[in-house]
A and B are shown apart, each in its own frame.
Chain A
Amino acid sequence: MAAAVPQAGGQAPPASVVQRKSRTGYVLLFPGMAWLAVFFAIPLVTLFATSLQSPIEGRTGRYKPGLEIGNYASALSEYWPQFLRSFLYAGVATVLALAIAYPLAYFIAFRAGKWRSLMLVLVIAPSFASFLLRTYAWKTILADEGPITSTLNALHLLPDGRILNTWIAVIAGLTYNFLPFMILPLYAALEKIDPRLIEAASDLYASPQTAFRKVTWPLSMPGVVAGTLLTFIPAAGDYINAELLGSPKNRMIGNEIQTNFIEYRDYPTASALSFILMTIILVMVFTYIRRAGTEDLV
């Protein structure tokens, strides 16, 4: 490369350099593209093909290639309650995570001073322990005889007299597990805001509320959008929280996909469910990004 640098300044580089540069781009892209092709695109195609397979008569758990569109209809008609429940739980968890994360990220970005790095480490630290282990820990925290449940019970605040194995525990688990994915993008967005803009707002007689509404909030939108997506998408497909913290009545679509794959060996239905989930999430995400008006995210 160095040899090809043009001698005279201000002069357009010769064509060969441009060409070589663009080729370098492809070379650098190759590992990523190859990775995506092998581990994402091909499996996705396989998954789609599987979702259209039809059973081989008399051989349970064996399927032949086909164009069984009906798999989608039957999967949807059988599991729509679990779809609704998944999106409801994930939605509530996302809103809760936003409510918890925004003040925290705001504080870290503007007020934490020398504690900033430490607080960021503390936000990430739980991720050093395994996801599964952290969810198991919630079983202990929310146990019937534990301090939280006993206190709330003494105040007669719990309808079932318990938290563990109810929807409350599932949503709490989802909120907790995906909270760092909300905090970090929010922090990144807030940290970029020039404090002088907020000062200017108050110089121009904006109340703190107005300054927040007109300046801080709009400027933090990319963080809000990224954070909500990073929380909502994995939460909607999660099955660990419902499995460990829920009861049979709190099963989410992830649990049904798992059951279809492993217990029933019904790969077409499981694949169809995965595809429906992906499609719904894609549509929701597109609509959301349109609405939020931040196409120039990233």
Chain B
Amino acid sequence: MTPQNPEVIAAIAGTMRSSISRRRLLRAAGLGGVAMVAAACGASDEALGGGGAGGQAVAQDVGAAEDMSAVDKLINWSNWPLYIDIDDATGSRPSLEEFQKLTGFEVVYTEDVNDNNEFYAKVRTQLEQGQDIGRDIVVLTDWMAALWVQNGFVQKLNKDLIPNWTNLVPKYLYTSWDPGRQYSLPWQSGFGCFGWNKGQLKEALGTDTLVSVDQLFDPKLKGRVSVLSEMRDTMGVLLAAQGSDPSNFTDDDFNKAIETLTQQVDNGQIRQVTGNDYAGALESGDLIAVIGWSGDMIQLGPDFGVGLPETGGTLWTDNMMIPALAAHKRNAELLMNYYYDPEIAAQVAAYVQYICPVDGAQEAMRSIDPALADNQWIFPDAKTLSQSYVFMTLTEEKDVEYQRAFQKAIGG
């Protein structure tokens, strides 16, 4: 599970180069100054069984960089905001600190993924030109992850270093874009579903449960409704509501749902199309009902309701991947392995309240917080899952075509 494990150390040693190239020195110097260079020089000799164990670099797939893992005890991890356990009193991240303590690695954890498209726009040029984007792990949603895999922007995972990967809940194993999970491992999943302010909804509609899209578009809620700017979640809910299958629909189905959306934006029913912003607007009372993300709304507390539409919501997964040319691939793999330990996974899930993809975490949860172990939003059963759809996989061309139609609808 950690480098204390002799197998892992052997694996690292097996791929260590015995000599230090100029580039590596420069890299190290750039990363940590003179001290780092000194460490780099020392590392190759003493490291892990001495030069003899090193020998040569192992052949790596395309897009792999010279791995600096053994030289820099560093991992650069880009993730979404509020997507890992946080100690509310100190602001620290307990599971991550534990990992750093166990391994002696430094994890630079940056919450700079706010939107799949935005993040892609930020790093795309470097990826296309075959440059390192300075991140060892990124967490991206299925469809964006698919785009990275198709374009060769990620590296194949070395499963020998991630023995815990067998804890992956089997249904995640087969995706159309990464069958067998060679390039990605799920971080968390969630639902695109309804969220609402119970008190205000009761006042407006006479019920404190929102179950259908018809209710969402009830004129009594005019100007107090928002939908997600994530096309797949909003359109998935609308497609399901009109009786189409969001996992397998036609252009006509899509256009019909777009018509509904356009109408609701034009008549002022939908006040805003947002990313994470809706949570604040629900709290301030500006919004009464939204299409949002399950975990966000559970975190709002008991005054707010969260539920899948009776016609079905969307189910998405955010995936950990190692970008091409990432400098600390092995470290990143060790970190992935750590988070696939059921205990650790349960610890994260207890905080973020999104769906946990790790088998055994449910059992581990019983000792952390027994109430959460049967929580349908973290460990959904077959019935809950049957109420949700994974959005159809689109080609990049189709994706842009649909994005355009969607933006046009919400652009007024």
Contact = CB atoms under 8 A, between A and B. Distances in A.
Contacts of B273: 248
A264 B403 contact: yes
B223 A265 contact: no
Contacts of A140: 284
A266 B400 CA distance: 9
Interface string A152-193: 000000001110110000000000000000000000000000
Contact residues on A (Cβ < 8 Å of other chain), bracket: 20 to 34
A160 B117 contact: no
A161 to B, nearest CB: 7
B145 to A, nearest CB: 16
Contacts of A251: 411-412
Nearest to A160: B223
Given A143-B284, A160-B223, A248 B117 contact: no
A248 B265 contact: yes
A44 B309 CA distance: 49
A262 B121 contact: yes
Contact of B396 (A61, A144, A247): A61
A145 B407 contact: no
A60 B120 CA distance: 14
B258 to A, nearest CB: 13
Given A60-B400, A247-B271, A143 B286 contact: yes
Contacts of B121: 261-262, 265
A249 interface: yes
A55 to B, nearest CB: 10
A210 interface: no
Interface in B363-412: 395-397, 399-400, 403-404, 407, 410-412
A200 B32 CA distance: 69
Interface string A124-162: 000000000000000110011100000000000000111
Interface string B137-148: 000000000000
B42 interface: no
Interface in A256-292: 256, 259, 261-266
Contacts of B224: 144
A211 to B, nearest CB: 48
B272 A247 contact: yes
A248 B272 contact: yes
A165 B285 contact: no
B272 A263 contact: no
A145 B285 contact: yes
Interface in B69-123: 115, 117-118, 121
B268 interface: yes
A56 B118 CA distance: 22
B270 interface: yes
Contact residues on B (Cβ < 8 Å of other chain), bracket: 20 to 34
Contact of B285 (A144, A249, A261): A144
A248 B223 contact: no
Interface in B252-281: 265, 268, 270-273, 277, 280-281
A38 B273 CA distance: 38
A248 B286 contact: no
Interface string B210-232: 00000000000001100000000
Interface in A219-273: 244, 247-251, 256, 259, 261-266
A144 B410 CA distance: 22
A259 B407 contact: yes
A243 to B, nearest CB: 10
A164 B407 contact: no
B109 to A, nearest CB: 22
Interface in B119-163: 121
Contact of B118 (A162, A248, A262): A262
A262 B117 contact: yes
A165 to B, nearest CB: 5
Nearest to B398: A60
A42 B295 CA distance: 45
A266 B396 CA distance: 13
Contact of B400 (A61, A145, A261): A61
The 3 A-B pairs of least Cβ separation, nearest first, read: A249-B412, A60-B396, A248-B412
Interface of B: 115, 117-118, 121, 223-224, 265, 268, 270-273, 277, 280-281, 284-286, 395-397, 399-400, 403-404, 407, 410-412
15 contacts: A58-B397, A61-B396, A143-B285, A145-B286, A161-B223, A162-B286, A165-B272, A244-B277, A247-B268, A248-B270, A250-B412, A251-B412, A259-B411, A262-B118, A263-B117
Given A247-B412, A262-B115, 11 more contacts: A143-B286, A145-B286, A161-B223, A165-B286, A247-B271, A248-B410, A249-B412, A261-B121, A262-B121, A264-B403, A265-B121
